[in-house]
Structure 1
Amino acid sequence: MLLDTASMYFRAFFGVPEILAPDGSTPVNAVRGLMDFISRLVEEYRPSELVCCWDNDWRPQWRVDLVPTYKTHRVEAEVEQAPDVEVVPDPLQVQVPIIRDVLAAFGISVVGADGYEADDVIGTLATGAGRPVDVVTGDRDLFQLVDDDAEVRVLYIARGISKHERVTNDWVRAKYAVDAAQYADFATMRGDASDGLPGVKGVGEKTAATLLERYGDMPGILAAAEDPASGMGPGPRAKIKAAADYLAVAPQVVAVARDLDLPRTGHDIPRSPADPDRVRALAAQWGLESPTERLLKALAG
């Protein structure tokens, strides 16, 4: 089970009412929410391995170099000394180190890669795993990893943990009229305002799906746009050709990395905490006794 950790603690922060630690000032709703999310998922799916995938770099420069608008809306332009700081609410920012401490004390694997996002860590660990993989995320970009043959699916939490959906290739095709393997190209053309990806002007989901159904993938679409005998209509042809510069680079931005040098072992689910004394101390310091008990019980199986 691969967790898109930031996706989960953001959801916990905004979905769980504010709760203050015993010090009376430090919010811990994201910490408590994430712990409970993990408990519920582990209880339901009983994974043998569990990895909290981490954003070592939430906005890699190499992606910005290719598409300068990438995630620009998440950047505080007004902050002169740190123009590339992600906009994270202060009450959440103070909880991230606590989350790291809790995960370490329990012995739950945390894996990141310098210069890459959690999506890339997930893509690498999900590819070639040789066993069933569940990817937990609220980010539809990761639908590109769904592979029924390799038993890779997404547990999509956009509507909440309790209402999560199990995303298979049939699910993707029913919703978007493309296969999961085509989803990255589909998203490239459609665009995504939340990631600062403009997409191809005038090409929405229906046209993108139609083009992929007819021409297979982005190289096929680009080739068809240049071939008068391809059967591509003048409208789509003009739109694809007008977006040639964007389409030359955007697929690299949208596609998650699958070949990072990451440890593929050592992620067994901890049946007992790595540091029981630290777990107890953190629970007392931050008022996490109840979620700690629930997580201990879930991990023990």
Structure 2
Amino acid sequence: MNGRRLLLAVDAPSLLHRNHHARVESGLRDRGGRPAWALHGMLRQILDAIDQFAPDAVLFGLDDRRTSVREQAYPAYKAGRAEKDPALVDQLERAGALLDALGMLTVTPDGLEADDVNASAATWAERHGWSCVLITSDRDAFAHISEHTQVLRLINGGINASPLLNPARLRAMYGIAAEHYLEYAALRGDPSDNLPGVPGIGEKIAPVLLSEMGSMRAVWADIDHCAGATLVATLDSYCEEVGRPRIGASVLKKLATPAARERFEFNLAIMSGRTDLELGLTPDLPGSPGLLPLEPDRVSRVVGHLGVPETTRLALRVLTEPPASSQPPY
């Protein structure tokens, strides 16, 4: 790890949603009789991640469930998603209290989402000389991948079966540099958030456009000042090199409309995560929330309330014992 400390930043709602759907048939309830399968599944996955990475601090991002800045700007944001199961809603609302009771650090930003906490966590880690691993199933986090920040994208199979993405792996997946991912996403759109992409610029053309032109700022500047001549020549030269039909003129036609730029800029604004949130991390203050190890009696009491002895034993080992040297996340 080259002497860098490690921050694990967790998109808690993402994990809760996945574990609700994966574990609902278990019907697990805590000792108070309330639904606990999503909470338990989230906790088990985090314990596995802590066991694997041995982080110095763990931060959980939560969504503000009362109001949404993005929904105010775009009322159709995430429209069309199925109504949440009341049992899931109950566990989403209790997650923060559970994690706070454990001694973890949770952040629920006003009007914002766990994605914004992840963005700020990656920025905080870079500023303070730490490494960072973001844990989520949301592709938006890919925009924060860098030399010292990776994304563990949860898929079926849990922590150990999920890909740990760094800049090289992201390029292999999408054909773009990590610093271009946000622009790529804005061009492509995001159906899960009900955000259409730029018409005619999909997942195949967007990587070529960004890799060959360098950025959308360069694309717009060329369209404004050179009528897109450089864009057309660059894309057609690429097509000749790879032996495919020229696309320069057709791509220019699609991008030269005011609607194309408006859609791109709008998506960019909605998709961009806030990087300036106050996280409350105080790594030089022993015992402050989020720092490991945690207090054993507290862990035993809080995790024990879920009623799964095996998980309580795992939590005591992983959360209360001094961590081994952090595993390199690269």
TM-score normalised by the chain length of structure 2: 0.79
**CA shift for structure 1 position 299:** 0.7
What residue in structure 2 maps to residue 280 of structure 1?
301
Change (3 A) 1:58 1:204: farther
User: How many angstroms apart in 2 are the aligned matches of 1:253 and 1:37?
Assistant: 29
CA-CA distance at 1:116 after TM superposition = 1.5
Q: Distance in 2 between matches of 1:259 and 1:297?
A: 34
Q: What is the distance in 2 between the residues matched to 1:24 and 1:45? A: 32
Counterpart of 1:234 in structure 2 is 249
2:131 corresponds to 1:124? no
Give ranges in structure 2 of 5+ residues lacking alignment: 1-7, 233-247, 283-287, 322-330
Equivalent position SS for 1:136: strand
Give 1:92's aligned residue: 88
Match of 1:136 in 2: 135
Q: CA deviation at 1:23?
A: 6.8
**1:58, 1:204 → 2: CA distance?**
34
* 1:84 match: none
After the TM superposition, which residues 1-301 of structure 1 pair with which residues of structure 2 at under 5 Å, given as runs? 1-16=8-23, 17-21=25-29, 26-56=34-64, 60-61=68-69, 63-74=70-81, 87-129=83-125, 130-148=129-147, 151-159=148-156, 160-226=158-224, 227-228=226-227, 229-232=229-232, 233-242=248-257, 243-265=260-282, 266-273=288-295, 276=298, 280=301, 283-284=304-305, 286-301=306-321
User: Is the 1:7–1:137 contact (alpha carbons within 8 Å) kept by the matching residues of 2?
Assistant: yes
SS at match of 1:230: helix
- Coordinate RMSD, CA, aligned: 2.4
Larger radius of gyration: 2
Return the alpha-carbon distance in structure 2 between the equivalents of residues 20 and 128 of structure 1.
37
Cα offsets for 1:250-280 (capped at 9, x unmatched)? 211112111223323244434233862x852
Shift, 1:65, TM fit: 5.0
Contact 1:191 1:198 in 2 (8 A): yes
- Alpha carbons 2:13, 2:92 under 8 Å: kept: no
TM-score of the superposition, structure 1-length normalised?
A: 0.86
Give 1:51 shift: 0.6
Counterpart of 1:72 in structure 2: which amino acid? A
Q: How many residues align?
A: 285
> Structure 1 pair 39/208, CA: closer, same or farther in 2 (3 Å)?
same
CA distance in 2, matches of 1:192, 1:269: 35
Alpha carbons 2:29, 2:37 under 8 Å: kept: no
* 1:205 aligned counterpart, secondary structure: coil
CA change 1:201–1:281 in 2 (3 A) is closer
Helix, strand or coil: the match of 1:222?
helix
Q: Contact between 2:231 and 2:252, CA under 8 Å: does it hold in 1?
A: no
Distance change >3 Å, CA 219–CA 59, structure 1 → 2: farther
Identity across aligned pairs (percent)?
28
Q: Distance in 1 between matches of 2:32 and 2:54?
A: 36
Whether contact under 8 Å (2:9, 2:118) holds in the other structure is yes
Q: Deviation at 1:146?
A: 0.5
- 1:195, CA displacement in angstroms? 1.1
Q: What is the SS of the residue equivalent to 2:152?
A: strand
Query: Counterpart of 2:200 in structure 1: which amino acid?
Result: G
SS, match of residue 26 in structure 2: coil
Following the alignment from structure 2 to structure 1, what is the Cα–Cα distance between the partners of residues 289 and 36?
26
- Per the alignment, do residues 58 and 172 of structure 1 end up closer, same or farther by CA in structure 2, a change over 3 Å counting? farther
Q: Any idea what the Cα deviations from partners look like across 1:157-204, whole Å, max 9, x if unmatched?
A: 123323111100001111111111100000000111001110011111
**Consecutive unaligned residues in structure 1, runs of 5 or more:** 77-86
Displacement of 1:92 in angstroms is 1.0
**Counterpart position of 1:79:** none
1:74-124 CA-partner distances (Å, limit 9, x unpaired): 3x7xxxxxxxxxx32111112234433321221011112112111111111
User: 1:280 & 1:293 partners in 2: Cα distance?
Assistant: 11
What amino acid sits opposite 1:154 in the alignment?
Answer: V
